Amino acid sequence: MIKAVGGLCVWLSIVCSPAFATTCWVPRERPLANQTVQRDMLVVSGKRCSLALILSQGPMYSVRLIAPPSNGRASIRGSRITYVSRPGYLGEDHFIFAREGADPTNRPATWTIEMKVQVKERL
C-alpha cells in the first residue's frame, strides 16, 4: 500500500519538490487519483513559470488544459506546463489542467489540479 501511494505522488515536479526560482514558486502537492486539488502559485508578471510532469508507476496517456487562465497563457508541450501572465498584469489568475493515465494497479485515473496564481511585481 505504501509503495503504491508513494508512486502516485511523483507525477509532477510540484508533487515532490517545490519549484524555486526568481520568477515563480509552486509549493509541494500530493494529489490522489480521481480527485481535484487546488494549489497556489506565485509568479512574476510577464515571466514564465514551468512545471514538469513526471511519470508515476502507471502510464500517462495525456495532459490537457481544462480551463485556460483569463489574464495570461497556459500551454502544454509534451510533459511540461508553462504559465505566463500578460506583461504588466498584477493580481489573481487561475487555470485548470488534468493528467490522464493509469494508477499503479493499471486502472484508469485522472489527476486534476486547479492552479490559483498570484501575479506579483517581484517575489
Mean predicted confidence (pLDDT) in 63-76: 96
Q: Residue 57's pLDDT is what?
A: 59
The pTM of the full predicted model, rounded to 2 decimals, is 0.75
pLDDT at 91 > cutoff 90: yes
Least confident range of 9-18, 38-47, 105-114: 9-18
Average pLDDT over residues 35-63: 82
Rounded to whole angstroms, the Cα distance separating 116 from 56 reads 24
| Structural domain spans, the chain | 2-120
Residue 31 burial (CB count, 10 A): 20
pLDDT in the model for residue 119: 97
Is residue 37 classed as helix, strand or coil in its secondary structure?
Answer: strand
> Hey, which CATH number is domain 2-120, 2.60.40.1080, 3.40.50.150, 1.20.1640.10, 3.40.50.300?
2.60.40.1080
pLDDT for 30: 62
Contacts of 79 by beta carbon, 8 Å cutoff, 6+ apart: 52, 53, 54, 55, 60, 63
